[in-house]
Amino acid sequence: MEIIIQQLLNAAQLGAVYSLIALGYTMVYGVLRLINFAHGDIFMVGAFIGFMLATTLNMPLVLMMPLTMLLTALVGVAIERVAYRKLRDAQRVSLVITALGVGIFLENFVRIVVGPQTRQLPAQLPDSVLKFGSGLIITEDKIWIILISLALMIILWLFVQKTLMGTAMRAVADNSEVIPLMGINLNRVIAVTFAIGSALAAAGGVFYGQAYSIDPYMGIDLGWKAFIAAVIGGIGSIEGAVLGSFMLAGVEVFTVAYLSSNLKNGIAFGLLILLLLIWPSGIMGKPLLKKV
Which residues contact other proteins by CB under 8 A?
A: 29, 35, 83, 86-87, 90-91, 93-94, 96-98, 100-105, 108-109, 111-112, 220, 224, 227-228, 231, 235, 260, 262-263, 265-266, 269-270, 272-273, 276-277, 280-281, 288, 290, 292
CB-based contact 156:196 (threshold 8 Å): yes
Q: Which is nearer to other proteins, 32 or 121 (by Cβ)?
A: 32
Q: Min. distance of Cβ 109 from other proteins in angstroms?
A: 6
Q: Which is nearer to other proteins, 83 or 138 (by Cβ)?
A: 83
Q: Min. distance of Cβ 222 from other proteins in angstroms?
A: 13
Q: Min. distance of Cβ 117 from other proteins in angstroms?
A: 14
Q: Min. distance of Cβ 79 from other proteins in angstroms?
A: 10
User: What is the maximal distance between C-alpha atoms in the chain?
Assistant: 64
Beta-sheet pairing, 136-139 with 129-132:
antiparallel
CB-based contact 176:189 (threshold 8 Å): no
* Cα angle for residues 15, 121, 214 (degrees, 5° grid): 60
Strands (E), 118-180: 129-132, 136-139
Q: Which is nearer to other proteins, 134 or 262 (by Cβ)?
A: 262
Kindly list the distances between the CA atom of residue 267 and the CA atoms of 108, 226, 256, 270, 272, in Å, as whole numbers in the listed order: 30, 15, 10, 5, 8
Q: Which is nearer to other proteins, 157 or 217 (by Cβ)?
A: 217
Q: Min. distance of Cβ 90 from other proteins in angstroms?
A: 5
CA distance 255 to 234: 23
Q: Which is nearer to other proteins, 117 or 167 (by Cβ)?
A: 117
Q: Which is nearer to other proteins, 181 or 288 (by Cβ)?
A: 288
Q: Min. distance of Cβ 281 from other proteins in angstroms?
A: 7
Q: Which is nearer to other proteins, 25 or 207 (by Cβ)?
A: 25
CA distance 5 to 12: 10
Q: Looking at the DSSP assignment, which residues form a beta bridge with residue 136?
A: 132
Phi, psi of 135 (to 5 degrees): 90, 10
Q: Min. distance of Cβ 22 from other proteins in angstroms?
A: 13
Q: Min. distance of Cβ 18 from other proteins in angstroms?
A: 15
CB-based contact 7:254 (threshold 8 Å): yes
CA distance 251 to 262: 13
Task: Give the contacts of 287 (CB within 8 A, at least 6 positions apart).
Answer: 280, 281
